[in-house]
Amino acid sequence: MEMPPTSQSPWALWKRLRAGHVRILWLVLGALLMVSVLPLGLYHRLVLQLSQDKLVDQERVQQTDLVRSLVLEIQHFESNLTQQLLSERQILDLTETGRRTSLIDDVEDPVAEPKVTHLLENFVESNPNTFIYLTAVGKSGRGTSASQGHFRAEQDPFVAKALQRAFVTCLQSQQLQVTKFRSDPLALAPDNRPAFVVAVPLKDANDNFTGMLAAVVSLEPILRGLQDASVRGRSVFLVDHNGKIVAHHDTNNFVPGADAQGNALVDQVRALPQDLRNTATMRFSETVKKRSVEMVGTYSTFPELNWAVIAERRLDAAESDTGVDELNRQALVFASIVVLAAIVVGYFFAVGISGPIRGLAASTRAISRGEFHQRSVARGALEISELAENFNKMAGDIEEFIEKLKEAAEENRELFIGSIRMLAAAIDEKDPYTRGHSGRVAKYSTLIGQELGLSAEELDKLRISALLHDVGKIGVEDRVLKKPGALTPEEFALMKQHTVKGANIMRPVSQLKEVLPGIELHHEHIDGRGYPYGLSGAQIPLMARIIGVADTFDAMTTNRPYQTAMDLDYAMERIRALAGTKFDTVVVNALESAVQHGKLRLSAVEVHV
């Protein structure tokens, strides 16, 4: 006989799974199967790390050999040009003038000048790739020169200043104990090619200073070496110990003499003692287009020139060059296939959790919008189904409670409005001539507010303020309030106090705070001649301006002890005449619009809205 499936049998679990009533535990266990991707990711990371470490070691060796080789080339270049300059000085010393003296004794001598110029020109022509400009000057700073092409040292202010500093150094060479001068890096116009000034003092047989032999030296050979070394994403350049560019392979963006501080390798060079010869490699990060990039760089200093050669390369460029990128791509493709398979399998598990939860979230959002009738379908995992059932019960309780709150709020509002109406009626009853006045002013004010486009909330405040605008008359003596004839000045002064008294009566009621301007200021005039404060124009709140017009309109169209009720057209004519002085023109126009559209008609003091 077939046994019925028990609650713990696979058949029972399968039925629960098919019904969608399975515990979250089993869904979590299914998701944990996807953790198999984690070891793959860790293995991939380990392989990449090993490959990158090997790549860094290889790049370190290449950069170290490169910078040391360039240092030797630059030292040889500088030594060679210095030797050539000293040889030229010796030629000047060995060449006699027509007076049987050496040219070096007085290069300013007009007799010696042609020979000096000829020697300088021969020297420059024999070294076209190195010496751009050569000059020999005497003790007074005057002399002769030769140059390549159309170069003129005096036309370049930086070269001219460097030559001046060279002359001062050579003049003080004996005190300073220096044998030559070398300037900071220079950028020659028009294409900012790298160069510097080198000079040696001229001395006679008695070791007395007679002048200076100075040259503007092009670093073009060094620049070509840097450019040849800057391949496959590698950047090689030359800086001095102060962190200024001497020569850079990218001549468009890096000008000789520019400050290179901020580069990790340059900052490291600046921190070293000037007389220290050192070669080191380091890894660092550099910000490129607001993105941090891993770099490998090497520097090599040589104190003879107080310069340093720097080579740096982005790791991603090195990885692309050595095939690490290809290995990474293959690993990512394989990992992507595994992850895709895991996503497909995990999707079915995720649906079992996310679907019911999304339904609960939608129901929650609906309730937050005030749709308390919204209910959630009880499906999904067992715990989620129970949660949905409890949620629906809670939503029902909330809906019932909200309805009760709405009913109570409406009752309170009706009680509040009723109290205000009774208070207004009680005020009107004090004066038999103004019975129903507050209600009519409230209706007229509401019509005007509607014409002005006020919101429902603003209209509600306006209506309450208009109902209570004469509440201060409670504090006015009956002999004044009910007097059938004209009031004396003293009596009128007492009557005018009803606006302030009304505001003071209502001020302790916090719910009526926003309606006080209509009570206190409805007798203020646009021209500033009203009361109680003599406000004018925009100083008077719109609520008070509206009630002021409605109050006067009702007074004109009802019977009073001192006048007979006017007809509608005559009353409107009188009010229009007061627009701009006593009343706001915009409010008067709104009243006239309500009359013209038939919204306001006088018929047994009945107003049709």
User: Same domain for 436 and 338?
Assistant: no
Q: What is the pLDDT of residue 467?
A: 87
User: Same domain for 462 and 336?
Assistant: no
Whole-number Cα distances in Å, 533 to 8, 465, 475: 87, 19, 19
User: Collapsing DSSP states into helix, strand and coil, what is residue 298?
Assistant: strand
Q: Let me know if residue 112 belongs to a domain.
A: yes
User: Same domain for 578 and 522?
Assistant: yes
Q: Let me know if residue 48 belongs to a domain.
A: no
Q: Let me know if residue 515 belongs to a domain.
A: yes
User: Same domain for 104 and 205?
Assistant: yes
Whole-number Cα distances in Å, 249 to 158, 288, 541, 561: 22, 18, 74, 105
User: Same domain for 396 and 483?
Assistant: no
Long-range contacts of residues 389-392, Cβ cutoff 8 Å, at least 24 apart: 391/360, 391/363, 391/364
Q: Residue 423 is encoded by which pair of tokens? A: 């208070």
- CA gap 502, 498 in Å, rounded: 6
pLDDT tens digits along 270-319: 999 988 899 999 988 888 778 888 889 999 999 888 899 999 988 877 66
Q: Let me know if residue 304 belongs to a domain.
A: no
Locus of tokens 């370190």: 60
Q: Let me know if residue 231 belongs to a domain.
A: no
Identify the segments of the chain with pLDDT beneath 50.
Answer: 1-7, 25, 604-609
- State the CATH number of the domain containing residue 169: 3.30.450.20
Angle formed at CA 269 by CA 265 and CA 85, multiple of 5 degrees: 120
**For residues 104 and 210, is the Cβ–Cβ distance under 8 A?**
yes
Burial (CB < 10 A; 0-12, 13-18, 19+), residue 530, is: buried
User: Same domain for 440 and 555?
Assistant: yes
User: Same domain for 332 and 391?
Assistant: yes
Q: What is the pLDDT of residue 416?
A: 67
User: Same domain for 581 and 469?
Assistant: yes
User: Same domain for 517 and 591?
Assistant: yes
Beta strands 209-218; 193-203: pairing state: antiparallel
Comparing C-alpha atoms, which of 515, 575, 522 is closest to residue 544? 522
Q: Residue 296 is encoded by which pair of tokens? A: 């490998």
Q: Let me know if residue 385 belongs to a domain.
A: yes
Q: Give residue 479's domain range.
A: 431-596
pLDDT tens digits along 513-528: 899 999 999 999 999 9
Q: Let me know if residue 480 belongs to a domain.
A: yes
Q: Residue 191 is encoded by which pair of tokens? A: 């294409």
User: Same domain for 383 and 437?
Assistant: no
- State the CATH number of the domain containing residue 460: 1.10.3210.10
Q: Residue 255 is encoded by which pair of tokens? A: 């000008």
Q: Residue 302 is encoded by which pair of tokens? A: 């040589």
User: Same domain for 362 and 467?
Assistant: no
- CA gap 600, 33 in Å, rounded: 78
The residue from 192, 218, 244 where one domain ends is: 218
Q: What is the pLDDT of residue 100?
A: 65
Whole-number Cα distances in Å, 158 to 167, 218, 471: 14, 15, 90
The residue from 190, 218, 246 where one domain ends is: 218
Number of domains in the chain: 3
User: Same domain for 441 and 384?
Assistant: no
Q: What is the pLDDT of residue 444?
A: 93
Q: What is the pLDDT of residue 57?
A: 83
Residue type, 410: E
- CA gap 143, 116 in Å, rounded: 9
Q: Let me know if residue 26 belongs to a domain.
A: no
The residue from 218, 234, 251 where one domain ends is: 218
pTM comes to 0.48
Q: Residue 149 is encoded by which pair of tokens? A: 């092409």
Comparing C-alpha atoms, which of 420, 560, 567 is closest to residue 482? 560
